[in-house]
Amino acid sequence: MPKPVVDESKCTGCGSCVNVCPQGVLELKDGKAKVVNPDNCIGCRACESACPVGAITVQE
C-alpha cells in the first residue's frame, strides 16, 4: 500500500501537497505537512510532484 512520507526538515509548510491531494491524506499542522489519513493514499504521487522542495516521497 502506498504511503507518503514527509521529511519535516525540508518541509516549508507551503501547503502545495495538501492542495493537490485528491484523497485528503495530508494536512498542515504546526506549519508542516503531516500524513493524517495514510490509508486513503492511492499512490498518485501528486503530493510528491507538487512539493517545491522535495520533502515528500511516496513509498510503495
CATH architecture of 3-59: 2-Layer Sandwich (3.30)
Can you give the residue ranges of every domain in the chain? 3-59
CB burial of residue 14 (10 Å; 0-12, 13-18, 19+): middle
**Confidence at residue 51, expressed as pLDDT on a 0 to 100 scale:** 98
Contacts of 34 (CB under 8 A, 6+ apart): 6, 26, 27, 28
pLDDT digits 0-9 by tens, 3-54 = 999 999 999 999 999 999 999 999 999 999 999 999 999 999 999 999 999 9
**Confidence at residue 23, expressed as pLDDT on a 0 to 100 scale:** 98
Match 495538501 to its residue by C-alpha cell.
18
Query: With bands split at pLDDT 50, 70 and 90, how would you rate the model's confidence at 2?
Result: very high
Nearest C-alpha neighbor of 10 from the set 54, 48, 41: 54
Cell digits for 59? 513509498
The single-letter DSSP state of residue 51 is -
